Structure 1
């Protein structure tokens, strides 16, 4: 399926985007310099990932580069060549027919059902280790519910009263917002876009173009990666419009996949050492 078409179609219920902000707060308060989070990886075109080890980026599978070694990702403002992409073994891309059906009917219920059972996570192995940016550690606990999280992205924007800008770019400037995890399941964590006055002072949600973007918490004084932007569910009565108050954002639950992440990185490191004994990776 054409990647751009997938992002356009899934804007109705998936592909989380850049930061959509409160309607009563100045956008300038959400903007941050690129240096505030250098471990953010910009995928080709749109979408994000996070550097979690010198040679590894973690992202949502549907946002991962599709052509492996033909692609690069940008980390810290530097283009880094991709060696390979490793999707979670049971990940399946959403059928194009399902997206078209939802677009025609205005009912994304079947998309939601599909996405809820999807293991939307992938590892991107870089051709060379990143030495100039520090990786972000993974959250390895299981007490995410109730935690305030920080979300970061460069995708589309808008505000909770008007929704996401319908024709806005999916790669804008870096913004940061906050929310609180309200639920967790086997695959996903989720939070809701609450309107003022109940929302946090810098309440926000991811929007189109920020799939794979980081959701982070402070744990024992350390910023840790707890989730990855994946898909959204519009508020009841809002049809297919994204970014309105009441929207729920679903994020890949990193703690659910830490054993797989560790095993892939360890296996690849063992393979590399076998091929190049004595080399540090």
Structure 2
């Protein structure tokens, strides 16, 4: 219960975490060096984003730092001051009362309904450009569903049999897992954490602390950003807990927001990839 309270009030059941993995695969198989995806941005404290232009990071709106708070974002080991945070006009902050209701009833369905109608995306302009990391291109197609995508994060971990570890730190080692995108609508793409033997060899899901983290597909050797970790629906027997087989992760559908992203970046004299 305490796990869900933190998550519900944070909006996303994964407000701090790495990747939750299969229970029959060694954790070492999921761990990667930072050089495998240097464009990963670490938000202050927890949460992630992705560098999409030398001075711009895209993330989930609920994971974005508060503007004017002296926030710094780390990319490839270097810290950058935040100059500006731009929330999508369709983003809605979840009322705390919904989290309290879920705790009281054991039913998070009203949280899910609320999150499904929110545009959970934000752009962050850095005070200085990133010169040692190439920005990640945005996926511009409409064929995300059925593709195999990689999810990357360094927050809380665990495995599908026991769920996310209750006391796991929200920033740990960098991990990468893979999942098949199984569905989507205009705002979100989603994938399901399938148990062995159905799951992919390195199947997994995001954990607490991975809000805003990247979901990417490999197009002819180039990683393209298709989604940003946003929220989950859990299995009925673990309705208020995260990380179990069967849960579904909803990711912001980046292709929907291309025009908005490019307009915001362009009006500031920059260009997104």
The TM-score normalised by the length of structure 2 is: 0.94
For residues 111 and 220 of structure 2, what CA distance do their matches in structure 1 show? 37
Q: How many residues align?
A: 266
1:131 aligned partner: 131
Is the 2:15–2:46 Cα contact (8 Å) retained in structure 1?
no
1:109 aligned partner: 109
For residues 58 and 243 of structure 1, what CA distance do their matches in structure 2 show? 25
1:147 aligned partner: 147
Query: Once the 2 structures are TM-superposed, how far is the Cα of residue 92 of structure 1 from its aligned partner?
Result: 1.2
Query: Once the 2 structures are TM-superposed, how far is the Cα of residue 8 of structure 1 from its aligned partner?
Result: 6.1
1:238 aligned partner: 238
Does the C-alpha gap of structure 1 residues 138 and 196 become closer, same or farther in structure 2, counting only changes over 3 Å?
same
Does the C-alpha gap of structure 1 residues 16 and 138 become closer, same or farther in structure 2, counting only changes over 3 Å?
farther
Judge which range, 43-52 or 229-238, deviates more. Answer: 229-238
Q: Are 1:224 and 2:228 matched, yes or no?
A: no
For residues 8 and 235 of structure 1, what CA distance do their matches in structure 2 show? 16
For residues 251 and 50 of structure 2, what CA distance do their matches in structure 1 show? 14
For residues 16 and 235 of structure 1, what CA distance do their matches in structure 2 show? 20
- Root-mean-square deviation (Å): 1.6
1:91 aligned partner: 91
- 1:111-144, CA deviations, whole angstroms, 9 ceiling, x for partnerless residues? 0000000100000000011111111000000000
SS at match of 1:19: strand
2:201 aligned partner: 201
SS at match of 1:225: strand
For residues 109 and 38 of structure 1, what CA distance do their matches in structure 2 show? 36
Is the 2:38–2:133 Cα contact (8 Å) retained in structure 1?
yes
Query: Once the 2 structures are TM-superposed, how far is the Cα of residue 207 of structure 1 from its aligned partner?
Result: 1.0
Query: Once the 2 structures are TM-superposed, how far is the Cα of residue 86 of structure 1 from its aligned partner?
Result: 0.1
Consecutive unaligned residues in structure 1, runs of 5 or more: 271-281
Consecutive unaligned residues in structure 2, runs of 5 or more: none
Does the C-alpha gap of structure 1 residues 13 and 47 become closer, same or farther in structure 2, counting only changes over 3 Å?
closer
For residues 11 and 256 of structure 1, what CA distance do their matches in structure 2 show? 21
Q: Are 1:53 and 2:53 matched, yes or no?
A: yes
Query: Once the 2 structures are TM-superposed, how far is the Cα of residue 12 of structure 1 from its aligned partner?
Result: 7.7
